[in-house]
Amino acid sequence: MQPQDLVITLLGTYVRPVGAAVWSGGLVELLSEFGFSEGAARVALTRLVRRGLLARERSGRLVFYSVTERCERVLAEGDGRIFGLGHARPAGDGWTILWHQLPDSRRLEHSRLHRRLRFLGFGSVQDSVWVSPHDHVDEVTRLLDELGVAAFATVFVAVPGAGVDALVARAWNLSGLAERYDAFCSEFSRYVRRNGSVTRMSDLGAFVVRTRAVHLFRGFPSLDPELPEDIAPLGRARGKAVAIFEALFEGLREPAQRHFDAVARAPVPA
């Protein structure tokens, strides 16, 4: 767990839904609840400002952070992938193939493109050829436009034929994924009763459990392309993890948000 990644989780889970600016001291204290020092927390916030994901503003002696438009787009895309994981897709959903040839002068866009493609579940067949077992044409088109590299890429939907197993082995490393789903379930199933309700806990406890569950679950979209079951039988492990995640996300929403708001609220001047 890296502090920059955890800040993104906090923004998407507790800040974006209400659209408010957050006091820097509160974010630092919240990060300390996961073992990060004040120095590490402030460095992470500064780097996110440099990446254009946070906007920094001062009010008197206090510093506040808010979500930028770029961060809003990234978080919205992330929500679609995270909350769509494990759910039924439209019939006739085709495979998406992206070919690109970005010039050396667009190295930053190259890196961002590949990172976002992996989060959408794409695998790399070659450095310039990416494939997903689902129709992501709209998302990829928006991504190429956002990065300003649409002129260097081609996107199309295809129906796979022979040799799919070889392509899958080249594009994705699925070893250990079922075990990672099982580990997620082992850690968080204790908080979910048989009827799907969650166990009662303090606001701090709810915040820590919910935040950690969201943060860990965020990693699955980059690892799991949701291939057909006859190619990669992960449905059982994935489905159990999704059910636990959704129960905790909704069941702990109010107490976790309450704790976040109480800590992130700026101090009232004496």
CATH number for position 108: 3.30.70.240
Q: Does the residue 77 lie in any domain?
A: no
Residues 6+ apart with CB under 8 A from 267: 23, 25, 62
Full domain range(s) for residue 14: 3-70
Do 40 and 106 share a structural domain? no
Residue 253: C-alpha distances to residues 197, 203, 207, 213, 261 (Å)? 12, 10, 8, 12, 12
Other C-beta atoms closer than 10 Å to the C-beta of 138 total 10
Q: What does the pLDDT read at residue 194?
A: 87
89/96 Cα distance (integer angstroms): 14
* Contact status, residue 67 vs residue 75, Cβ threshold 8 Å: yes
Do 64 and 18 share a structural domain? yes
Do 258 and 181 share a structural domain? yes
Do 196 and 140 share a structural domain? no
CATH number for position 61: 1.10.10.10
- Render each residue's pLDDT in the chain as its tens digit; 270 residues: 788 999 989 988 998 877 778 899 999 999 999 999 999 999 999 999 999 999 999 888 888 998 888 888 888 888 888 998 988 776 667 899 999 999 889 898 999 899 889 988 899 988 899 999 988 898 899 999 989 999 999 998 888 777 788 888 889 989 999 999 999 999 999 999 988 899 999 999 999 999 999 999 999 988 999 988 888 899 999 999 999 999 999 999 999 999 999 998 867 554
Q: Does the residue 47 lie in any domain?
A: yes
Q: Does the residue 136 lie in any domain?
A: yes
Total-model pTM: 0.86
Do 153 and 193 share a structural domain? no
Q: Does the residue 234 lie in any domain?
A: yes
Please identify, among 158, 188, 210, the residue that sits at the C-terminal boundary of a domain: 158
Q: Does the residue 152 lie in any domain?
A: yes
- What values do phi and psi take at 129, rounded to 5? -125, 120
Q: Does the residue 89 lie in any domain?
A: no
70/245 Cα distance (integer angstroms): 26
Please identify, among 106, 124, 158, the residue that sits at the C-terminal boundary of a domain: 158
Q: Does the residue 90 lie in any domain?
A: no
The number of domains in the chain is 3
Do 201 and 154 share a structural domain? no
- What values do phi and psi take at 201, rounded to 5? -155, 170
Q: What does the pLDDT read at residue 214?
A: 95
124's enclosing H/E stretch is strand 123-126
Q: What does the pLDDT read at residue 268?
A: 55
Do 247 and 185 share a structural domain? yes
Q: Does the residue 183 lie in any domain?
A: yes
Do 207 and 136 share a structural domain? no
Please identify, among 110, 125, 158, the residue that sits at the C-terminal boundary of a domain: 158
Do 182 and 153 share a structural domain? no
